[in-house]
Amino acid sequence: MKRYASFKVFSLLFGVVYMGLFWLNEFYGIAFLRYYPVLGGFYNERQPPETAGPAILWYFWLFGALAVSLLVSLVVPRRLAERIPHNWIWMVSAALMVAILVYERRWFY
Amino acid sequence: MIQILTILHALLAVGLLGALTHQAFSVARRKPASPAHTFIDRFRGVNSPTFTNVVVLLFVVTSIGGGLLYPRYRVDVRTTLEDLQLRAANGVFEMKEHFAALGVGLLPAYWLFWRPPLHVEYADTRKYLTWILALVTWWNFLVGEVLNNIKGLYP
């Protein structure tokens, strides 16, 4: 268990960073990478919807969360990672799921 | 090609659903294993740790499949849903993509806590991680199926 303590850091962070990037886009329109399926490529800047079609940001949220969580989990010392209470992982995820349900209820009105 | 990928994605999801549901039922057991009498007893009486690697593999591969299908969904299906003003259908898909991401992030911890030897002090963490992944998989499977058949469901 001790050998893989960084896995706990990764799992704890991934969902938080993912949702952070999602809400950063929702509230401030900030996204560093957008995929335009009609154009078939990734772009930093917003493209005109008339010619570029809809953008997909999910890949950016996923890869952003992957990069940050991986980096932090490799940097955090093992002793510190071992001290993270194991219950936090599922509790944080459950809390994020509730937050998603609350936020996305906007689609049902 | 897209049809083959959609069917493959669904088949992988069925496999994942089966493995996770077995495991989720097995960790819900309150008392030590007794001889299986009912269907539920036999369903939950599986050797749970053996499912772990398969669950991780299937979850990752199914998510990659979903990621490959997503551009086609975004261009064709979502715009149709918007035209038909099926906001709830868009909403449940939004949740599906977020839940899938949370599930992918949980996999390293899930694998870690299911790694033999199974420690008793981690039993609750193991149980709740499994239940979260099972919930995510059931939600995503049902939403995927409904959206795939939505033209037939909303004539």
Answer with the residue of higher pLDDT: B48 or A55.
A55
**Interchain CB contact of B64 with A (< 8 Å):** no
Can you give the pLDDT at residue B39?
79
Chain B residue at shortest CA distance from A20: B98
Confidence of residue B83 (pLDDT cuts 50, 70, 90): confident
Percentage above 70 pLDDT, chain A: 97
Chain B residue with the nearest C-alpha to that of A34: B71
Chain A CB within 8 Å of residue B86 CB: no
What are the φ and ψ backbone dihedral angles of A27, each rounded to 5 degrees? -90, -30
**Domain extents in chain B:** 2-29+36-153
Positive/negative CA dihedral, A97, A102, A106, A107: positive
pLDDT tens by residue, B85-142: 889 999 999 999 999 999 999 999 999 999 988 888 999 999 999 999 999 999 999 9
User: What does the DSSP 8-state code read for residue B31?
Assistant: S
**Least confident window among A83-92, B23-32, B77-86, B142-151:** B23-32
Please report, for chain B, how many H helices and E strands are present, in that order: 7, 0
Q: Is the ipTM of this complex over 0.85?
A: yes
Domain ranges of chain A: 2-107
Which residues of chain A lie closer than 8 angstroms to B111, CB-CB? 7
Looking at residue B90, its amino acid is: N
Residues 88-147 of B with CB under 8 A from A: 88, 90-92, 94-95, 97-99, 101-102, 104-113, 115, 119, 122, 124-125, 128-129, 132, 135
Q: pTM value? A: 0.92
Element (DSSP H or E) covering residue A35? strand A34-36
Instruction: Encode pLDDT of A6-40 as tens digits.
Output: 999 999 999 999 999 999 999 998 999 999 999 99
pLDDT-above-90 percentage for chain A: 83
Q: Answer yes or no: do A37 and B71 touch at CB < 8 A.
A: yes
Q: What string of H, E and C letters represents the secondary structure of B71-121?
A: HHHHHHHHHHHHHCCCHHHHHHHHHHHHHHHHHHHHHHHHHHHCCCCCCHH
Nearest in space to A35 (alpha carbons), one of A27, A25, A26, A45: A45
- The residues near B95 (Cβ < 8 Å, ≥ 6 apart) are A100, A101, A104, B139, B143
Average pLDDT over residues A61-68: 96
